[in-house]
Amino acid sequence: MSAFLHQRPLHTPSSYLDDLSPRSRQNYQKPTSSLLSRSPAVLVLLLLSLLIVAGVLFPYIQSPGSLLSLSSRSSDSKWRGYTLPDAAAYVARNNTLIVCAVSEAYLPFLNNWLISISRQKQQEKVLVIAEDYATLYKVNERWPGHAVLVPPALEAAAAHKFGSQGFFNFTARRPRHLLQILELGYNVMYNDVDMVWLSDPFPYLKGEHDVYFMDDMAFVKPLDHSHELPPPGKKGRTYICSCFIYLRPTSGAKLLMKKWIEELQDQPWSRAKKANDQPGFNWALNKTAGQVDVYLLPQKAFPTGGLYFKNKTWVQETKGMHVVIHNNYIIGFEKKTKRFKDYGLWLADDYASESPLGRL
């Protein structure tokens, strides 16, 4: 190697390479001497640095796509500071929200419900109250801003087991969420996600009442039945479903939510009495009767599952009148899915492209 090359700097400047002709670039060779060969201490430091870097990255490179999960964690973390007031302000349309509360196990039902709402052009009003961080991140990854978690997060595995303490804890948070939304000044419609919209329910919210709801009794009512609160049943209370509720931000609606919260505190879950939120809702309705302006939605449009799925004669007589179908009077994730499929109401497999979340 020429004496000229030995006098060059250790790292050849780019300007020097630019000055070389194509032929001289081909013939050019980097010097064989280097800082590493001259200084073993530098080599040791470099190896230590690589070990440190490997130690930091190792948890994220054990499986394909794990480096992507590292970057996604930083994007997910921003949703932890996303509050219910933030979310309500972002999602509300015409001062109205459609709200559901969901744990990770029920994401397929959320998607099924969303498809039916999208067909009625009402999906932009939907706010998903995530009860665990997996749901919060999944929904906001696909549909940014449409999910919020109100701390503390619940244990996802227990929240979907009917009759469990986890299920009670999951449903007992509902009136607090709704009261907070009312205090913010919004109209709010609450739905369980094991429901399907066949038509738009908003035209059925007639008048300016405080609260609208559907009966959970399976016996057939006259088509022109009263819209007043039904009389109490054998247990001394009504049997209104807490699955579908529409509330205006009135003093009466807020009073009802506060009373519902009190009833749930007075009747907590126990192994002997595996409660859920619905009896408390009915006691609250009964104890605030006369103070809250209520409206019972028509059974022909809002039938309970005990009627729609079990009385074929009634379904045929009221054909074309159904608006929202609730898949209740049956317990179990798999059983609910199968029944929806049997009745042509499971949309999540064949029509996932119609959901704001896509295919989950």
Q: pLDDT tens digits, residue range 228-270?
A: 999 998 888 999 999 999 999 999 999 999 999 999 987 764 5
Residue 96 is inside which H or E element, if any?
strand 96-102
| Domains of the chain: residue spans and CATH | 41-81 (no CATH), 83-354 (3.90.550.10)
pLDDT at 36 over 80: no
pLDDT of residue 22: 36
pLDDT at 32 over 90: no
Q: Taking residues 91-114, what's their average pLDDT?
A: 96
Place of tokens 């109250």: 129
pLDDT range class, residue 29, cuts 50, 70, 90 = very low
24 vs 81: which has the higher pLDDT: 81
pLDDT at 141 over 80: yes
Picking from 269, 339, 277, 267, the residue whose alpha carbon sits closest to that of residue 305 is 339
Q: Taking residues 31-45, what's their average pLDDT?
A: 53
pLDDT range class, residue 160, cuts 50, 70, 90 = low
Specify whether the CB–CB gap between 291 and 255 falls below 8 A. yes
CA distances from 18 to 11, 22, 28, 268 (A): 14, 9, 12, 79
pLDDT at 18 over 50: no
Which strands form 240-247's sheet, in the order they lie side by side?
Answer: 147-149, 126-130, 96-102, 187-191, 240-247, 211-215, 294-296
Radius of gyration of the chain (CA): 30
The mean pLDDT of the chain is 82
pLDDT of residue 153: 79
45 vs 141: which has the higher pLDDT: 141
Q: pLDDT tens digits, residue range 39-74?
A: 566 565 666 666 555 554 444 444 444 434 444 555
154 vs 61: which has the higher pLDDT: 154
pLDDT range class, residue 77, cuts 50, 70, 90 = confident
pLDDT of residue 10: 36
Distance separating alpha carbons of residues 129 and 75, to the nearest angstrom? 19
Q: Which of 8-12, 78-82, 119-123, 333-337 has the lowest mean pLDDT?
A: 8-12
Specify the amino acid at residue 86: D
Q: Taking residues 127-131, what's their average pLDDT?
A: 96
Virtual torsion, Cα 353, 358, 359, 360, nearest 10 deg = -160
Q: Taking residues 82-95, what's their average pLDDT?
A: 98
DSSP string, 98-121: EEEEE-GGGHHHHHHHHHHHHTTT
Looking at the DSSP bridge assignments, the partners of residue 187 are: 96
Distance separating alpha carbons of residues 212 and 296, to the nearest angstrom? 6
- Cα-Cα end-to-end distance for the chain: 64
Q: Taking residues 146-170, what's their average pLDDT?
A: 67
User: Does pTM top 0.85 for this prediction?
Assistant: no
Q: pLDDT tens digits, residue range 289-326?
A: 999 999 999 999 999 999 999 999 999 999 999 999 99
The alpha carbon of 15 is separated from its chain's Cα centroid by a whole number of angstroms, namely: 57
Output DSSP code: residue 93.
B
DSSP string, 184-199: TT-EEEEE-SSEEESS
Q: Taking residues 124-147, what's their average pLDDT?
A: 97
pLDDT of residue 325: 98
Q: Taking residues 143-166, what's their average pLDDT?
A: 73
pLDDT of residue 161: 54
Query: What are the tokens at 98?
Result: 């459609």
pLDDT of residue 235: 86
Residues 6+ apart with CB under 8 A from 320: none
Specify whether the CB–CB gap between 188 and 178 falls below 8 A. yes
Angle of helix 84-91 relative to helix 174-183, nearest 10 degrees, comes to 70
pLDDT of residue 177: 96
pLDDT of residue 152: 84
pLDDT of residue 165: 53
Specify the amino acid at residue 196: V
pLDDT of residue 266: 78
pLDDT at 274 over 90: no
Query: CA angle, 121 as apex, 118 and 123 as ends, to 5°?
Result: 55
pLDDT of residue 60: 44
Distance separating alpha carbons of residues 347 and 354, to the nearest angstrom? 9
DSSP string, 167-187: HHHHHHTHHHHHHHHHHTT-E
pLDDT at 156 over 70: no
pLDDT range class, residue 272, cuts 50, 70, 90 = low
Output DSSP code: residue 290.
T
pLDDT of residue 74: 55
Query: CA angle, 360 as apex, 327 and 306 as ends, to 5°?
Result: 5
